[in-house]
Structures are given as C-alpha cells and as structure tokens.
Amino acid sequence: MTPRTRLWLDFVNTDAAAQSPGGDLLRDFEALLIWSQRQGAVDDERAAGIRRRAVLQPAAAAATLVDARRVRAALRVLAEKGQVTERVREDAVVEINRVLGRSAGTRRLDAVPAGGYTRAFVPTGDAFAGLMIPIVESAADALVDEELARVRRCADPRCHRVFLDGTKNGLRRWCDMGTCGNRAKAARHRARSETRR
C-alpha cells in the first residue's frame, strides 16, 4: 500500500462497481486469499495453511467469502456516506465489532522485509475468521483517527472507486489522475474546442 491508501478502502474497491470492466475482484475464495496476500494482510505461510484448510472445508471457505462481501458492502457505505450520516457510522461500528469479536488470536509486531515494522494478527482456532481482521482494523483506525472527512468517491461518474485525499488542501477529486483525471481533462478540452467552433 502506498502512504495515501488504506487497506479498507482498497478492499472496498475490489467490488464490481469499482472495476471497469473486470467485475468483482473477489469472485471466489482463492481470489480473496490472493488479494489479501498482495496487500500484505496475510503472509505466504499463513495463506498456504488457509488454502489447505479451504480444500478440507470448502463450505467454510465459501461462507468466509460471503462474509467478506458483507463486510465490504458495509465499508463501502461507510466510505461514501460515513462522514455525513451518523447512522452509517454506527452501523459500520456494529459490523467492525462483529468481525473483531468472533476471532481469537494474538496481535504482534513483525519486521517488514523492506525495513520497518507492521502490526500483525495471528488467529488461533478458525483460520478463516482472521482474514478480515486487518481490513476492519484499518476501517476502525479511520474512525478513530477521524479520517472520514478525507475519504472521497471519484468525481468521474463512471468510476465508483473510493480513496483517501491526502492533499494539503483536501481538494483531490479523482481516484487516479492518470485515468479518471485525464478523462475529465480531455472532456473539458473537447468541450472548449467545440464551443470555439
């Protein structure tokens, strides 16, 4: 993750609405696990153990995917409406606490290969239950740190991605200047050119 992203927002952006035209990035349990690994939420050793368990317990893996999508839907609403609607924040807290409350484990500090440290959660018992912990903790941090005022939905009406506006003036409008921002600039240029004709 780059400094201006947050795990929970990246997770929200895996849904079909945020993808064009690829569809839901969490199409199956394996996709959820791969995404978690790529984001650094699950290390390779733990992912291998979860994969083995998924083969032995396919129904539990499928239920975990359903639950992940439920969490993602709640976090999308938080990202899009949480700053202005208290009820949305309350509902998100209930969902976050539901996930945090059902997983037992150990929190620890791990060294990162590139240098520095990261917080880690190592579940005990149900390996599947711990998959969502880093994501909901990231959302909890956003609430605790009062970051919702800087969470935005991309200004491009065709894009449904959300992002954290880390700019000094807080006026960032697009999820990515290279795609959505450039499309908007090109559209404004075309409109000005047509007006001049």
Could you tell me which residues come within 8 angstroms of residue 18 by beta carbon, excluding any fewer than 6 positions away? Answer: 12, 159, 160, 161, 162
| Higher per-residue confidence, 154 vs 196 | 154
- How many CB atoms neighbour CB 4 within 10 A? 13
For the record, the structure tokens of 180 come out as 């959505």
Distance CA 156, CA 76 (A): 17
Q: What is the pTM of this model?
A: 0.83
For the record, the structure tokens of 135 come out as 């994501």
Give the pLDDT confidence score for residue 118 in this predicted structure: 80
| Span 14-50, pLDDT tens digits | 998 777 667 899 999 999 999 999 998 988 988 999 9
Q: Smallest Cα–Cα separation from 25: which of 69, 89, 55, 71?
A: 69
Residue 174, SS3 per DSSP: coil
What per-residue string of b and e applies to 165-177 under the rule 16 or more CB within 10 Å gives b?
A: beeeeeebbbbee
DSSP string, 137-188: HHHHHHHHTT-GGGEEE-SSTT---EEE--SSSS----S-IIIIIHHHHHHH
| Span 140-184, pLDDT tens digits | 999 999 999 999 999 988 889 999 999 999 899 988 877 787 766
Domain at 7-196, CATH homologous superfamily = Jann2411-like domain (1.10.3300.10)
Q: Are 8 and 134 in contact (CB under 8 A)?
A: no
Give the pLDDT confidence score for residue 112 in this predicted structure: 80
Would you kindly state where each structural domain of the chain is located, as residue ranges?
A: 7-196
